[in-house]
Amino acid sequence: MLMEMYTELQWLPKAPSDFSSQVKAWSEADGGAALCSLASSALDMNQLTRLAKSISAAVARGANLEPLQPFRLAVIGNATMDFILPALVASAARHGLALEIIQPAYDQVAQEALTPDSRVNASKPNAVLFALDYRALPLKPTPGDSVAAANAVTGAAGYLAALREGIQKNCGAACIFQTFAPAPEMIFGSLD
């Protein structure tokens, strides 16, 4: 029961039965308030994707989406982000943002952050989200060697600082680092 509260966003009103028709009928004359209202429902992944496509198309056309505030977010990751980005765009409208996502090539973290004319830096986003997991960090297991472990952690922290400095130097955007999930533990060791 508790899980459904979160997976189905039970604190939000149900999506209108004619949600698809309303998104399809939306026009720029309706403005961003209509999109915000549609986004304020408990939407499933298909509805989020449909709404995100409508918002992204309107942003690309330069439509006036007031009262939604424009916000450009670059998402740099070392995993496939294609499934989460529409949810971010549609959910941002619920919070008053017309979110435009800049998505560089897969697993090009350092190249995008450190190269001045990379897609991310050239697009001048408002913020950059580093959606990285533990595999993006230069870490190696060092069982029993506390000095090597400390050096590995220092090296990983230095790598993240270099990414942040590259973005701030090259485009001046705010940097957001998501929490790093730990590596899953293997139940059966090398037999997993």
User: What are the tens digits of pLDDT across the range 41-94?
Assistant: 989 999 999 999 999 988 888 888 999 999 999 999 988 888 899 999 999 999
Cβ-based neighbour number of residue 154 at 10 Å: 10
**CATH code where residue 176 lies:** 3.40.50.1110
Q: What is the pLDDT of residues 2-13, one digit of tens each?
A: 667 666 677 787
Instruction: Give me the residue label for tokens 């990285």.
Output: 132
Task: Please indicate, yes or no, if residue 5 is contained in any of the structural domains.
Answer: no
Task: Please indicate, yes or no, if residue 33 is contained in any of the structural domains.
Answer: yes
Burial of 188 (0-12, 13-18, 19+ CB in 10 A): exposed
Least confident of 9-18, 79-88, 112-121: 9-18
Nearest Cα residue to 166 out of 156, 175, 157? 175
Task: Please indicate, yes or no, if residue 53 is contained in any of the structural domains.
Answer: yes
Domain that holds residue 46: 18-181
Task: Please indicate, yes or no, if residue 6 is contained in any of the structural domains.
Answer: no
Distance of CA 62 to the CA centre of its chain: 22
With H, G, I as helix, E, B as strand and everything else as coil, classify residue 155: helix
Task: Please indicate, yes or no, if residue 13 is contained in any of the structural domains.
Answer: no
Q: Is the pLDDT of residue 28 over 80?
A: no
Secondary structure element (H or E) that encloses residue 39, with its range: helix 31-39
**Number of structural domains found in the chain:** 1
Task: Please indicate, yes or no, if residue 11 is contained in any of the structural domains.
Answer: no
Show the tokens assigned to 174: 């705010």
Q: Is the pLDDT of residue 138 over 70?
A: yes
Q: Is the peptide bond before 16 cis (omega within 30 degrees of 0)?
A: no
Give the predicted TM-score (pTM) of the model. Answer: 0.85
